Amino acid sequence: MKIIWTERSEKDLENLERQIAARIIKKVEEASEFPEHYLTPLKGYNLYKIRAGDYRVIISINNEKMVVITADHRSNVYKSLDRFYRSP
């Protein structure tokens, strides 16, 4: 599955420590090969999450493409989702 990083997700990675960003990138790459093992659906959203330690990666899947929306600490990552991604 092809991985697409949004501007927001790239900025999120730039703001993290290198080790954490590298762990997140590795998890996303692994998830692109085995999505059924790594991706967990988010309740109330048409999105998925990946756990990378205390960090979460929010992903959308469209036509065999994984779109990485954001990556942040678990205490912060879900705060902006209601405004933009809530399912009807």
pLDDT at 80: 72
Angle among Cα 48, 50, 51 to the nearest 5 degrees reads: 140
Angle among Cα 82, 84, 87 to the nearest 5 degrees reads: 70
Calpha distance 39→59 (Å, rounded): 8
CA dihedral 78, 83, 86, 88 (to 10 degrees): 160
Name the pLDDT band for 86 (thresholds 50, 70, 90).
Answer: low
pLDDT at 39: 95
pLDDT tens profile 18-65: 999 999 999 999 999 999 899 999 988 889 999 999 999 999 998 889
Domains annotated for the chain, with CATH where assigned, are 2-85 (3.30.2310.20)
CA atoms within 13 A on the CB side of 30: 13
